[in-house]
């Protein structure tokens, strides 16, 4: 199998697995509180990532990377997994899966906006227009399509899911300064985050449901939201000769996710979800594709001038 075919295979498997996790969140939250689910999922992910790192013979990097930047990994662990997944699971606990899923995808729109004050980047017209389109979709979904009523079914749930996008963006901004191995860095963050998650869970409500159904649901989230899928995605990016071809696959995830939500959770997908998700995806595609088109256009003009 060629590198390109291998990259697509890794990427498609990762996208397929990520497409199931919104459904898995709701199933798991029928057994656990949000903090309990974070604990089970993070513990599972730590075991999975440890096995992968041992298999890749990267375990010698663990102490070296941590010693070099302990403060960075402390901040990273607080943001993800502790804060991000707690807030995200709270959102899924309060909202229909279709709403939480769609609104969570706006993190990619928010990222270049937050990069302006945090990284000194410039906000382009494309980013501003993409944000306006995407957040129009957020409003449509949040109001259930009744855009003139300014009435939200669960203001708390909407606040949680939009807060999760801020936390996720802060995590990614923080990780732009990480020059270590990505899988090792993720494991270090999770190892640091686990005690925080454990203390918070024990204070609020220790786990009481240890049935095989509950454990299966929690382990599934840990493996395919946090652990294995992340490594598959990294392998896809490393195997491809053109990163943009692989990253475009991400746009399949929310579409497939809505299908799983309807099929497995039996949620009736509202027309406002379809419309709002179209707005959000339009904003994401505009943000991703426009710079590439402008770059190609400028290269063609430059080539003509050189002739």
Whether the predicted pLDDT of 163 surpasses 90 = yes
Query: Comparing 236 with 78, which gets the higher pLDDT?
Result: 78
Contact 265, 217 (CB under 8 A): no
pLDDT reported for residue 119: 83
State the SS3 of the chain: CCHHHHHHHHHHHHHHHHHHHHHHHHHHCCCCCHHHHHHHHHHHHHHHHHHHHHHCCCCHHHHHHHHHCHHHHHHHHHHHHHHHHHHHHHHHHHCCHHHHHHHHCCHHHHHHHHHHHHHCCCCCHHHHHHHHHHHHHHHHHHCCCCCCCCCCCCHHHHHHHHHHHHHHHHHHHHHCCCCCCHHHHHHHHHHHHHHHHHHHHHHHCCCCCCCHHHHHHHHHHHHHHHHHHHHHHHHHHHHCCCHHHHHHHHHHHHHHHHHHHHHHHCCCCCHHHHHHHHHHHHHHHHHHHHHHHHHHHHHHHHHHHHC
Taking residues 33-39, report their average pLDDT: 95
| 186 has pLDDT over 90 | yes
Residue 298 pLDDT > 60, yes or no?
no
**How confident is the model at residue 227, as a pLDDT?**
85
d(CA 219, CA 225) in angstroms, rounded, equals 10
144-148, 180-184, 270-274: which has the minimum mean pLDDT?
144-148
Averaged over 79-105, what is the pLDDT? 94
CB 97 within 8 A of CB 266: no
pLDDT higher than threshold 80 for residue 245? no
Mean pLDDT of 271-290: 89
| Alpha-carbon gap, residue 271 to 276, rounded angstroms | 8
Distance of CA 158 to the CA centre of its chain: 17
pLDDT of 299 over the 80 cut:
no
Q: Does 41 have pLDDT greater than 60?
A: yes
What's CA 246's distance to the chain center, in Å? 16
For residues 11, 14, 16, 22, the Cα torsion angle rounded to the nearest 10 degrees is: -140
Residues in contact with 250: Cβ distance below 8 Å, sequence separation at least 6, in sequence order: 15
Range from 54-58, 78-82, 114-118, 162-166 carrying the lowest mean pLDDT: 114-118
pLDDT tens readout for residues 103-133: 998 888 898 888 888 888 888 888 899 999 9
Residue 235 binned pLDDT confidence (cut-offs 50, 70, 90): confident
Question: How many of the other CB atoms lie within 10 Å of CB of 96?
Answer: 22
Average pLDDT over residues 206-212: 83
pLDDT-derived band at 250 (thresholds 50, 70, 90) equals confident
Percentage of residues in the chain with pLDDT exceeding 70?
92
pLDDT grade for 203, boundaries at 50, 70 and 90: very high
Mean pLDDT of the chain: 88
* Contact between residue 36 and residue 201 where contact means Cβ atoms under 8 Å apart: yes
**Burial per residue of 18-55, b for 16 or more beta-carbon CB atoms within 10 angstroms, e otherwise:** bbbbbbbbbbbbebbbbbbbbbbbbbbbbebbbebbee
Q: What percent of the chain has pLDDT above 90?
A: 58
Structure tokens at 257: 């996710």
Residue pair 56/183 in contact (Cβ under 8 Å)? The answer is yes
Q: pLDDT (tens digit, 9 = 90+) per residue, 129-153?
A: 999 999 999 989 988 887 766 667 7
């Amino acid at each position: 199998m060629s590198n390109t075919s291998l990259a697509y295979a890794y990427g498609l498997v990762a996208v397929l697995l990520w497409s199931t996790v919104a459904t898995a969140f709701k199933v798991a939250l029928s057994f656990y509180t949000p903090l309990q689910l974070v604990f089970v999922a993070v513990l599972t992910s730590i075991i999975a990532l440890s096995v992968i790192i041992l298999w890749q013979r990267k375990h010698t990097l663990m102490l070296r990377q941590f010693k070099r930047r302990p403060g960075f990994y402390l901040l990273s662990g607080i943001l993800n997994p502790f804060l991000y997944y707690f807030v995200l699971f709270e959102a899924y606990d309060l909202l229909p899966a279709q709403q939480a899923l769609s609104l969570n995808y706006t993190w990619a729109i928010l990222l270049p906006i937050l990069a302006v004050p945090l990284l000194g980047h410039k906000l382009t017209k494309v980013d501003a227009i993409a944000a306006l389109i995407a957040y129009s979709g957020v409003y449509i979904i949040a109001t259930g399509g009744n855009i003139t009523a300014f009435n939200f079914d669960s203001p708390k749930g909407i606040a949680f899911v939009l807060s999760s996008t801020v936390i996720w963006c802060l995590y990614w901004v923080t990780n732009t300064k990480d020059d270590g191995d990505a899988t090792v860095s993720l494991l270090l963050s999770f190892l640091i985050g686990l005690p925080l998650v454990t203390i918070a869970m024990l204070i609020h409500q220790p786990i009481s449901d240890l049935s095989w159904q509950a454990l299966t649901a929690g382990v599934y989230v840990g493996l395919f939201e946090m652990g294995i899928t992340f490594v598959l995605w990294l392998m896809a990016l490393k195997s491809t000769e053109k990163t943009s071809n692989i990253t475009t696959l991400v746009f399949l995830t929310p579409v497939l996710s809505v299908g799983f939500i309807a099929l497995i959770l039996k949620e009736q997908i509202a027309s406002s979800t379809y419309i709002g998700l179209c707005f959000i995806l339009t904003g994401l595609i505009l943000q991703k594709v426009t710079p590439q088109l402008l770059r190609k256009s400028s290269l063609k003009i430059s080539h003509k001038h050189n002739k």
